Structure 1
Amino acid sequence: MAKLTLTTFLSLDGVMQAPGGPDEDTDGGFEYGGWTVPFADEDMIDFMNGVMGRSAAFLLGRRTYDIFAGYWPRVTDPDDPIAGPLNTRPKYVVSTTLSDPGWQNTTVVSTDVAEEVARIKERTGGGELQVHGSGGLARFLMAHGLIDEYNILTYPVVLGRGRRLFPEGGRPTALERIGARETPSGISIHTYRPTGPARFGSFDLDE
């Protein structure tokens, strides 16, 4: 069975919207798109190349799929560490409106999403079924306990507004940190594995 992993970029205040460019996602009047770009460095790129090298298939939300499909097919070098896997490996896009995806090896998932994701994990076999960005899908998967591992790249910037990964009212979850590093530009990269429900206690003094 494939491991379902989520890799995403976050600001210090938890925003994940439009990390890669000013026109990527302006919903809600968001005008800070491209906030990761000033911090891009070789260590971050090396980490992402390693992530992509472990992919067996990709599971994407509709907005992220459209962004990727508009960019990565134009990178035609089969040895490119990001374009190569994205262009050749199976892709699943969760959408109720997309009927004819143009990107090769793409399957649309439109109904019974939780059950279908579980089936995709089962039949993918080894490697990782990877989610990148895809905030709405990520929150759905978290709510259904389907994410096996998180790669969170936190950037040293506060945005003050924009869509966040972890929603108000989300499932309280404990996680184990299984990897950590920091890049020269200040990006903190942490890998977490869910360990079950969050636990709670008290620092009150014993009577």
Structure 2
Amino acid sequence: MRITLTTFLTLDGVMQAPGAPGEDTRDGFRHGGWQAPYADEALETRTAEWFAEADAFLLGRRTYEIFAAYWPLVTDEDHPIAGPLNTLPKYVVSTTLDTAGWNNSTLIRTDVIEKVAELKDRPGRELQIHGSGVLARSLLDHGLIDELRLWTYPVVLGTGRRLFEPGRTPTALRLVDSTPTGSGCVLSVYRPAGAPAYGDFTRE
């Protein structure tokens, strides 16, 4: 399966708590819900298309708990991504959860990189990560993510947890799609392209 990552980012790279004020207040974060005013038809359409390609989901604990508190209450008739989320396998990376009670959920407690690599080697379409910043950063560092789908919004927060924090493994990315939406968001799809290349403008 291909591993894909989809996440919402501000212009300064913040991915924390896009959906609601109380979604994630770690480190005193006070800007929860920053993405919601920009939601539009393009977001819903593209998201539904991608969810239709999923064969399984890979989630960190915090994202799993946010999803599990909401999506089991939503039907296919209410939203097109409810069906895949509620029925497909969900692999939850956590050392603190005792159980994962949402339908078809499996906990991954140890040897995360090895077990995710095993999932990646299975036949199928996409193993999708949504949000899950800590997990995503670790898998990016180990070269396990095949595609990044980044929704970048026209807002700067100046604080909050970022996808690309200091200390990440240097990686080049290849842009394969870029689409602006009516709300001012830009959807960029990248694929890893090995180590960064370097040059020197002073030696022309």
| Partner SS state of residue 172, structure 2 | strand
Moved more, 72-81 or 136-145: 72-81
Partner of 1:71: 70
Partner of 1:129: 127
| Partner SS state of residue 3, structure 2 | strand
CA shift for structure 1 position 45:
1.1
Amino acid at match of 2:182: P
Amino acid at match of 1:130: Q
| Partner SS state of residue 121, structure 2 | helix
> Are residue 172 (structure 1) and residue 192 (structure 2) matched?
no
Amino acid at match of 1:176: R
Partner of 1:50: 49
Deviations 1:46-72 (A, max 9, x none): 111111111110000000000000000
| Partner SS state of residue 202, structure 2 | coil
Q: What is the total number of aligned residue pairs between the two structures? A: 204
Query: After the TM superposition, which residues 1-207 of structure 1 pair with which residues of structure 2 at under 5 Å, given as runs?
Result: 2-77=1-76, 80-123=79-122, 125-206=123-204
CA shift for structure 1 position 79:
7.6
| Partner SS state of residue 148, structure 2 | strand
Deviations 1:68-118 (A, max 9, x none): 000000002368321110000000000112122110100000000000001
List alignment gaps of at least 5 residues for structure 1.
Answer: none
CA shift for structure 1 position 132:
0.3
| Partner SS state of residue 196, structure 1 | coil
| Partner SS state of residue 69, structure 1 | helix
Give the whole-Å Cα distance in 2 for the aligned partners of 1:77 and 1:55: 15
Give the whole-Å Cα distance in 2 for the aligned partners of 1:156 and 1:182: 11
Shift >3 Å, 4+ stretches: none
Calculate the TM-score normalised by the size of structure 1: 0.96
- Seq. identity, %: 59
Calculate the aligned-residue CA RMSD, in Å.
1.1
